[in-house]
Structure 1
Amino acid sequence: MPRQDTRGIVDAEALFTRVRFRRHDPVAPALRPYVEHYWLIDWDLETPYASNVVPHPSVNIVFQRYGDASSAEVSGIGLELFEQKLEGVGRVCGVQFRPGGFRPFAPGRPVSDWTGRRVPLTEAFPDAFPDTFPDTADATTPHAILDPPTDEARVAALDAFLLTRGGPEGFRPDPAAERAMELVDLIRTGGDGPPVRRVDELADRAGLSVRSLQRLFAAYVGVAPKWVVLRYRIHEALERAEADRAAEPDWAALAAELGYSDQAHLVRDFTATVGVPPTAYARALRAS
């Protein structure tokens, strides 16, 4: 079952009143260990709306239609707050990979090569569509993903696209990617213990040196392990503020829970990432 949280979405309630947002798991079992979920968005807006997201440490493949214009791109891990203006009629079909899960589909380059970049799909997958959708006239067209009328058909098209990545022999699992995903999950959830809050602790639990851990993350995740720790802290803070709009979160207690030495460090990281201090963000939510 796909994730149900709103982590990373700035003012999720406002977004969901304007768009149809759904998440779906891949149908193909071979894809599920590597794909966090597919995300589908449709909108028909009378007035423009700007959505904001604090990106996950994940690579996305994005098929999008804004009005009459369609495109397909690989979106590497976003290092800054991502803003997208939505207006008129549009549709997006996205693949969010698990952190560490993209490399098996594009094994020729380290994932850090895509970080902070949004590039045409054909830069990562030069063959793009013809082998999967031989009737598609334009090899770079995203129509094969965006045109199907139902969610189920779009999910099937996304499955078909991903399963044929990696050349004539198809997609191959990668044990190093599985290891990277496991370590990111320790940061996010802690596995059988508390979430990991420090890089040296993660290295100890992984049985790796800090340098080896950093090399693995550069090749398979795309950012340093410390960056992942900090990003998940901000996601947690955003979700806490969103969960109870009627009350001001106890920021000092949350800072301690997230592993900060004091509240000031949380305020600094939150402000640098989201653009406003946490108290101002929570106040804006209560007023909306």
Structure 2
Amino acid sequence: MAAPRSDTRGIVAAPELFARVRFRRREPAEPLRPYVEHYWLIDWDLTEPFASHVVPHPCVNIVFQRYEGTGDFGEVAGIGLELFTQKLEGRGRVCGIQFRPGGFRPFLADRPVSDLTGRRLPLPEVLPGFRAAPSAVLGPEAQDARVAALDDFLLTLGPAPDPRAERAMALADRVREDRSIRRVDELADTVGMSVRSVQRLFAAYVGVSPKWVILRYRVHEALERAGTGAPPDWAALAAELGYSDQAHLVRDFTARVGVPPTAYAQARTGPPR
């Protein structure tokens, strides 16, 4: 990984969010890069409340959080199945670790990642052998110091090398990068595995099915296209992403984002002239 990605995939109404918060992505230490997509840091100081919305990635996150009026705390966020909404108000800070799909399993020992899916659990409940002090991560004002604290936290956990985790991460990367893979059998064929073996691997190491990952990356791509520049040709985009027709894209997008793609695109760019 040369640098954290700069796209806004998964973030609903990204410009509105970035106008209100300070958002950065940072690389982890070199030994952690096989497992971690990036760190993400958010600070805000708002005069009016704002609700942020995210269509979750197929990734586990560890999140250290500070909200006005509450104590610092850390939790493990399994893959979210629904649109995630967080109300931000007053002053606050979040420092997050986004693992690569499959990258959290080496930190989890023998527990399948699917046990975490759709759940947000206190750190000690998921990693009972470690007692983290969230203030060590959230306290420093300098972002470099926060990144160093996140590095120290993960390196202390000492992930165990796992060839099956490496395979799961490689397959998830293939889904994200290769738009020609539209079905699970096509993914299985690329590595000479059976469909059932791929499904078991994803359940244990990623936390959701390979079909779910394929569909989620389709929605992320459509969300990104709808929020930047001129509205796309929806029928052409549906075909490009492997939908049987435009109606299927509209239905999938609406179910995950909460509004139809045309309405979302119009809200981002204004009415046509």
What's the TM-score bracket when you normalise by the shorter of the two chains? Answer: over 0.9
CA distance in 1 between counterparts of 2:120 and 2:90 reads 23
1:229 aligned onto 2:214:
yes
- Give me the TM-score of the superposition, normalised by structure 2: 0.96
1:178 is the counterpart of 2:128 = no
Specify the alignment match of 1:77 in structure 2. Answer: 79
Residue 257 of structure 2 is matched in structure 1 by 274
Q: Describe the SS at the equivalent of 2:9.
A: coil
State the match for 1:42 in structure 2. 43
2:194 aligns to what? 209
SS of match in other structure, 1:164: helix
Q: Any idea what SS the aligned residue of 1:239 has?
A: helix
Q: Name the structure 2 match of 1:149.
A: 141
| Amino acid in the other structure paired with 2:118 | G
Calculate percent identity across the aligned residue pairs. 71
Q: CA deviation at 1:64?
A: 0.3
Offset at residue 248 of structure 1 (A) = 2.2
CA distance in 2 between counterparts of 1:277 and 1:40 reads: 30
CA drift of 1:195 comes to 4.3
Q: Distance in 1 between matches of 2:108 and 2:22?
A: 30
Give the conservation status (yes or no) of the 8 Å contact 2:227–2:264: no
**Contact 1:73-1:119 within 8 A present in 2 as well:** yes
Match among 25, 41, 56 for residue 23 of structure 1: 25
1:214-266 per-residue CA deviation (whole Å, 9 max, x = no partner) reads 0000000000000000000000001001121xx22110000000001100100
* CA offsets 1:93-144 (integer angstroms, 9 cap, x no match): 0000000100001113100000000011111111333xxxxxxxxxx53101
Query: Is contact 1:189–1:195 with CA below 8 Å preserved after alignment?
Result: no
CA contact (8 A) 1:186 1:195 kept: no
Following superposition, the deviation at residue 284 of structure 1 comes to 1.2
How big is the alpha-carbon RMSD for the aligned residues of Structure 1 and Structure 2?
A: 1.2
User: 3-state SS of the aligned residue for 1:236?
Assistant: helix
The corresponding residue for 1:100 is 102
User: For 1:109, what is the secondary structure of its paired residue?
Assistant: coil
SS of corresponding position for 2:34: coil
Match of 1:56 in 2: 57
> What is the aligned counterpart of 1:255 among 230, 233, 238?
238
CA contact (8 A) 1:110 1:222 kept: yes
After TM superposition, give the deviation of residue 281 of structure 1 in Å: 0.8
Output the amino acid matched with 1:56.
H
> Structure 1: where are the runs of 5+ without partners?
130-139
| TM-score (normalised: structure 1) | 0.91
User: Which 4+ stretches in 1 moved above 6 angstroms?
Assistant: none
| Structure 2 unaligned blocks of 5 or more | none
State the distance in 1 between where 2:202 and 2:31 align: 23
Distance 2:110 2:41 in 1: 28
How far apart, in 2, do the equivalents of 1:262 and 1:65 lie? 44
The superposition leaves residues 180-229 of structure 1 with CA deviations (integer Å, 9 ceiling, x where unpaired) of 00000110002xxx542111100100211000000000000000000000
1:220 aligns with 2:205: yes
Measured at CA, do residues 100 and 195 of structure 1 come closer, stay the same or move farther in structure 2, by a change above 3 Å? farther
Secondary structure of 2:187's match? helix
Aligned to 1:9: 11
Q: 8 Å contact 1:113–1:222 — kept in the other structure?
A: yes
**Residues 242 and 285 in structure 1, CA contact (< 8 A), matched pair in contact too:** yes
Give the match's secondary structure for 2:224.
Answer: helix
